[in-house]
Structure formats: structure tokens, C-alpha cells
A and B are shown apart, each in its own frame.
Chain A
Amino acid sequence: MATAVARVAFAADSGGGGSSKAPKVAAAINAAFGRFSIPAATSLFIGGDEYSVCNASTMKHYDKYLTQPHINPARCVMTPGNHTNGPGGKSNIPDVSAWLSYNQARGTLSRTNGGWITQSQGIPLTDQYVDVAGIRFIFLNSGAVENVVDKPGWPVPHTGGAVAGNSRVAWLRSAWRPGTRNVVITHHARWSYYGGAHDNPTMQNLIDEIMGRNDGTKPHSSLILQGHDHCMQLMHPQGASGTYPGLVSGVIGLCSTAPTTHAAPASNTSQKSWLQFANITVGGCGFLQIDIMDDFSLELSIIDASDTSGKLMTNTPSTGVTGAATATIRTLAS
């Protein structure tokens, strides 16, 4: 029987203020880390977005997380979202310089010295990887800027759909561990339960890269984690553009914001492929707990943050998936 050797918490859309759900999520993550048998083997990964936009004041929302006794800033990594990227200058345009300064001051592992993907739009090069217990977590900036650039993408700027020759692509290809012991973390999800405008086709290049389709290699990862959409979902992608065997796509975007609660359109076929789906009720919140096992499998649990007991979310029955929101991801060494 496999034993957990490290615990990771992933929370996106998590930078809300004191009146948001962020304090509850922070307390729940702290409790989850406190329950883990190896306190030094806990890591917090933040999937972006401060509300309403990133600035020196809203970055302090993360103090709720980083001042918890069991959360160590030195084992925290953030990746920017569309409310993070931005040149600033107006109250409704994010100022990513505050994100860079905050992470430096807090001593997190977030990359702050990469220069710029697009400086005029305030999109920093934050791509990096961090190894945890034999699993490589790769963080990629998906690029959009609230009130400035609507479309996300990887790579950014877009190059007509082609990825060859792009320096970010070359770096990612050099960063993959052999096999599928890689987890990709970015802000914008390629697919969402809700479909339509909630899907981001401009992220397709990243999915194809993960699957090894752009360069004719094998799949590099079994798990991509994202946020942006305000729900909790784990799915085997099964969209109109094809199937993606072996890949699990997670959206964990209900960590401080209000939930999206409308129904999926009938034309969206991706909801037929749920692993787990916890749309939860109005006022609910949660985060994803990833236990890395000594056989390099990943035990995923969507934790209800309404209190600190660590109880699991339950799935939305209308999706056809019932029971607690958990899943196991197997990884390959080669």
C-alpha cells in the first residue's frame, strides 16, 4: 500500500479580501498541512488572481495564507492570472509589479527574475518548475490581462498557432521529466464544464504540447491544474476537438470567489467525462489537496473549506458522478 510522502495544496482565484472566502480556504489549507505526518513536506501552489485586481494592497490578501503556522512561504509558488498580469496605471488594470515585489518580500519560490513576455502589457516571464517528491510541477503564465488583453494563450504572444521556434516552448520541452511525472499549473483552463465562453481554445497549444502532439513525442503529463472558472472540476477531456487519453484536467477556481452556478449547454460534451465535479452551493469554497505517494501516484481530494475538518466535497449529482470528490492519478517513469 502506497504511503504519502508529500502534500500539496492548490488554490486558484484565491486572492480575495477579508470579506471573501479566502480566510476560510487559508485556514482549511493550514489544517490540512497540520494533519500531514511530515510538516516540512507540505507546499502551497497558488493559481493566480487577486481581487479585484493586483496591486500592493490586494497582494496582502495572501497574508491570510502565508501567516498560517503550517504554511511556509518558502514552500509557496504562485503563477499569475489575468487579474495579476498588467501594467497598472489605472485602478481597474492589474499592476503585476506588486505581485513581483510581494513574492520577493515574502521569500516565496515564485519566479520574479525572468524579465518579460510582453512588458508593455505587464506580462512577466514567470515560467518555472519545482520538484516535489519526484514530481515536477511546471508553472506557466497563461498571459491575459484583465481589461487589457482578453485572450490567454501559451505561448504568448500567439504565433498563429505555431509553437516551433518559440523560446518558451523550447524551455518547456527541456523541462519535462521523463515519462509523465510532470504536473502543469497555469491559470486559464482549456476546457470548462460550462463550455462556450468558459472554454479557452487559445490554450490548445499547451494541451497538444503536453500530449506530445506538437513534436511527435509521447505524453509528458497526466495532470494539468488551472483556475479562472469559478467551480471545482476534474475531468478527462473529451471535447469536440478530440480526446486526450491519460490526461486529467482540473479547474480549482473556487478559493475566494463567488461560484458560477449556471448549467452547461447541451452542446458541451466535456461534462460526459467527469472524474469529479463539485460545483458546490452558493457561499461554498474549497481547494485541491494532492498527496504524492511513494509509488509516485497522486491522490487528489477536493476539500470543503467551509470548516477545517478536511471533509471532502461531494459531487453534483446531475453530472452523473456521485460520492466524494477524489481521484487517483498514476504517473509513468518513462
Chain B
Amino acid sequence: MRRRGFLGVLVSIPIVGTAAGRAFGDAPAAAAAAGGHEAALASESMAATLWRYMDHASTWDEAVADLRRYVADGHADAEMFAAIADAIERELATADGEQLDGVLGFYPGAVLMLHGLRSLSDYGTTEILDAQSAFVRRLMEAV
């Protein structure tokens, strides 16, 4: 198996008005809390879990912060996602006024694609990684 560095591939791709004082009203306190609720999430796929962490990211900075939390919580492929977060941060450090605004879902989707490419890098051949990277680039141009 021949491997190529992941980063190389990555780089290629109150009260106002007349009122004198406060005039506010509060609802009465609710009844006692309902029974205990187990907050633990049901078993779900890595992608679904990651998406939950990153769903509301609006920028790459926020995406990295969300990714770091995912890693810190010890979810699947934490080591790989830590490397991806490192790579994003390195690239961001070299970004110079580029328009990098996203839309809802863009950042988790992009990170999952990077995860796939990284997996090809780790477990596939250079030929496969290069072919898939080229194909993804063509797809990006096609859409």
C-alpha cells in the first residue's frame, strides 16, 4: 500500500414610554419537575453524532471549535478528527481575507468529506486517493 500525506490532498481541495417604573409580570412557578430523564443519546452513527456537534457552525472557526468538542468527548474516530481540526486551523492561519462564509450544514458536510478522504489516505492506495480527489474536484466544478 502506498500512502500520501493527507494535508497535501487537503490543500489541493424594559419599561419605557410613559411608565415610570418596571411593570412586568411573571408566570407562576410550574409544578414539580417531571420524572428523571436520561440525557444519554441513543446509539447513532458517527456521522449523525458529528453533525449534531457541528450543525450550527457558521464559520470555519466555529466548525473547529465544534470539532474539538467532539474530539474531547471521545467519540468515534476522535484521533482522525483531531488531525482534521489541526489541518483546518493551519489552513485558516494562511487564509487572507477570503470569503469563507457558509450555509447551514456546509461545515459538517465538508468535514465528513475530509474524513472520507483521510480514510482513503490511511487505508487505500495513492491511486485511489488521487482518483477520488480528482473526481471530487470535478464534482465541485459540476455543481
Q: Could you tell me which A residues sit within 8 Å of B by CB distance?
A: 5-6, 16-21, 38, 40-43, 51-52, 72, 74-76, 83, 87, 89-93, 109, 111, 113-121, 125, 127-134, 146-149, 157, 167-168, 171-172, 175, 230, 256-261, 282-283, 292
Contacts and interface: CB of A to CB of B under 8 A. Distances in A.
Given A51-B57, A113-B26, 6 more contacts: A20-B59, A21-B58, A52-B62, A52-B65, A92-B73, A175-B27
8 contacts: A41-B16, A41-B17, A51-B58, A92-B53, A116-B30, A130-B23, A167-B31, A230-B104
A282 B101 contact: yes
Interface in B61-82: 61-62, 65-66, 69-70, 72-73
A42 B15 CA distance: 9
Nearest to A22: B58
Contacts of B54: 52
Interface residues of B, number: 47
B27 A130 contact: no
A19 B101 CA distance: 10
Nearest to B75: A92
A111 B99 CA distance: 40
A167 B53 contact: no
A292 B15 contact: no
Interface string B80-112: 000000000000000000010111101100000
Contacts of B53: 52, 92
B12 interface: no
Given A20-B62, A91-B73, A258-B102, A130 B15 contact: yes
A129 to B, nearest CB: 5
B17 A6 contact: yes
Contacts of A117: 30, 33
B2 interface: no
A114 B58 contact: no
A282 B99 CA distance: 10
Interface in B4-38: 14-19, 22-37
- Grouping DSSP codes into helix (H, G, I), strand (E, B) and loop, the B interface class, with mixed when no group exceeds half, is loop
Contacts of B16: 5-6, 38, 40-43, 75, 132-133
A261 B17 CA distance: 39
Contacts of A230: 104
Closest 3 interchain pairs by CB? A75-B14, A119-B33, A283-B101
A283 B99 contact: yes
A127 B27 contact: yes
A169 to B, nearest CB: 10
Contacts of A118: 33-34, 37
Contact of A257 (B25, B29, B58, B65): B58
- Grouping DSSP codes into helix (H, G, I), strand (E, B) and loop, the A interface class, with mixed when no group exceeds half, is loop
Contacts of A111: 26-27
Nearest to B39: A148
Contact of B27 (A74, A114, A146): A114
Contacts of B143: none
A167 B26 CA distance: 12
A128 B33 contact: no
A109 B14 contact: yes
Nearest to A284: B101
Nearest to A259: B103
A149 B39 CA distance: 9
A16 B58 contact: yes
A109 B22 CA distance: 9
Interface centre among A75, A119, A131 (most CB of B within 10 A): A131
B3 interface: no
Interface centre among B26, B32, B99 (most CB of A within 10 A): B26
B61 A17 contact: yes
A233 to B, nearest CB: 15
Contacts of A114: 26-27, 29-30
Contacts of A40: 16
Nearest to B25: A129
B41 A147 contact: yes
B137 interface: no
